[in-house]
Amino acid sequence: MIDADAYAAARRAFDAKTKPRDSLGRIEELGCRLAGIRGFVPERLEAAIVVAAGDHGVAAEGVSAYPQEVTAQMVANFASGGAAINVLARQAGARLVVVDAGVAVPFEHESVRSLRIGAGTANLAIGPAMTDGECRAALAAGRALVEELGDVDVIALGEMGIGNTTAASALTAALLDLEPALVCGRGTGLDDEGLAKKIDTARRALVANVGGDPLTALGGFEIAFLAGVAIGCAERRVAVLLDGFITTAAALAAVRIEPAVADVLIASHRSPEPGHARALEALGLEPLLDLGLRLGEASGAALALPLLHASIALLRDMATFADAGVTDAGR
């Protein structure tokens, strides 16, 4: 799926620039990878950030430090421009698309795309979070959004949903065949008791949904939607910039549906959630940042976007040894 010619063209271009070979390390690798994904060396990088929100029936188990109403409150905050991702999207010069994929209480606002699959998922601790039809609809909505966004080079994924680290933990445990205690973390701020409850909830979810499709049974509306966005990106050779644990779990599920997704993924950061490191490793991804970020909302992806822009700007604007009359040591 990676276009070897475009990758090699970017590699040759970097090697001709006035700097020792490979001295910009992972920034050069990033530029080559973006070229390989797109199939050409982009002149500039058009970036969109898609933040999908959804509610989770599993919130009833008391697995979050925050009450469920916060999902809708944060969508309102995205709409009025006051959340971290609003600030970071502006800083990164990226278009921000906020999607209601199934918040419990609908929120009508011109800056929120209503692609609601339902009013929150069912409680995955006692049965499937979604029906087959709901999961299919969420995937299709994600794919359709990529088509609608048109000529973008990279889409950064983000999410909001109280309870969704529990869904991502159960989903990752199922997909990677891991014990829930190895993937569950403190999310947005659980204490020891809360973490124990979360692990127990994920264990019960795996038992209650044994044999079911992992994404349908253990995912969420926003998670399946983002998996659909990743599949749409693979179809259109658009790079996917992952954020934290939940978006990476969505990518893991997407790769099971469409293996070509693996080729378009770029990991922005590694969060302190233990499941995130496991999921990144399974996807063969080395993140760009490791800054203790655990907010979600695509905040880590937005913080990494300038590195992607820099890689393409260097390819476009740096002088070559020949242009600049600089002696090339050839290494």
Is residue 240 a contact partner of residue 266, using CB atoms and an 8 Å limit?
yes
Alpha helices in 150-209 (DSSP H): 164-176, 180-183, 192-208
Tell me: does residue 313 bind its own copies (CB under 8 A): yes
CB 50 within 8 Å of CB 97: yes
Identify which of residues 234 and 314 has a Cβ nearer to its own copies in the complex.
314
Beta-strand pair 95-102/112-114: parallel
Torsion of CA 58, 60, 63, 64, to 10 degrees: 110
236 binds its own copies (CB under 8 A): no
Beta strand 95-102 pairing with 154-160: unpaired
CA distances for 201 relative to 57, 112, 122, 236, angstroms? 12, 31, 14, 37
| One residue of 121, 164, 169, 299 binding its own copies per CB under 8 A | 299
**Is 211 one of the binding residues for its own copies (CB under 8 A)?**
no
Among positions 84, 234, 238, 239, the unique one binding its own copies when judged by CB under 8 A: 84
Task: Based on the residue annotation, tell me whether 297 is a catalytic residue of this protein.
Answer: yes
Size of the residue set binding its own copies (CB under 8 A): 59
Residue in 80, 106, 259, 281 binding its own copies, rule: CB under 8 A: 80
Minimum CB–partner distance for residue 143 and its own copies (Å) = 30
Q: Nearest approach, Cβ of 111 to its own copies (angstroms)?
A: 15
Footprint on residues 163-192 left by its own copies (CB under 8 A): 188-189
* Residue pair 241/304 in contact by the 8 Å Cβ criterion: yes
Q: Which residue among 134, 159, 273, 297 is the active-site one?
A: 297
DSSP strands (E only) in 248-302 = 265-267
**x/- site string to its own copies, residues 56 to 75, per CB under 8 A?**
---------xxx-xx--xx-
Nearer to its own copies, 26 or 281 (CB): 26
**CB nearer its own copies, residue 77 or residue 216:** 77
Options 137, 293, 298, 301; binder of its own copies; rule CB under 8 A: 293
Report the C-alpha gap between 21 and 42 in whole angstroms: 21
Site pattern 2..31 for its own copies (x: CB under 8 A): ---------------xxxxxxxxxxx----
Please tell me the distance from the alpha carbon of residue 39 to that of residue 30, in angstroms, as a whole number. 14
Backbone angles phi, psi at 170, to 5 degrees: -65, -40
* Long-range contacts of residues 321-328, Cβ cutoff 8 Å, at least 24 apart: 321/16, 321/17, 321/18, 322/16, 323/18, 324/18, 326/18
Output 21 or 236, the one with its CB closest to its own copies: 21
Q: Is residue 88 at the binding interface for its own copies, with CB under 8 A as the rule? A: yes
Task: Please report how close the Cβ of residue 39 comes to its own copies at its closest, in angstroms.
Answer: 24
Q: Return the number of the residue (43 or 147) whose C-beta is nearest its own copies.
A: 43
Quick one: which of 31, 309, 260, 305 has its CA closest to 156? 305
CB of 203 to its own copies, least distance (A): 25
Sheet holding 265-267, edge to edge: 112-114, 95-102, 47-54, 154-160, 239-242, 265-267
Residues 6+ apart with CB under 8 A from 102: 53, 54, 55, 116, 117, 118, 119, 120, 121, 138, 220, 221, 222
Distance in Å, CB of 63 to its own copies, minimum: 13
Q: Is 290 an interacting residue with respect to its own copies (CB under 8 A)?
A: yes
Catalytic residue IDs: 297
Q: Which residues here bind its own copies, judged by CB under 8 A?
A: 17-27, 65-67, 69-70, 73-74, 76-77, 80, 82-84, 86-88, 90-92, 188-189, 272, 288-295, 299, 303, 306-307, 309-310, 313-314, 317-319, 323-327, 329, 331
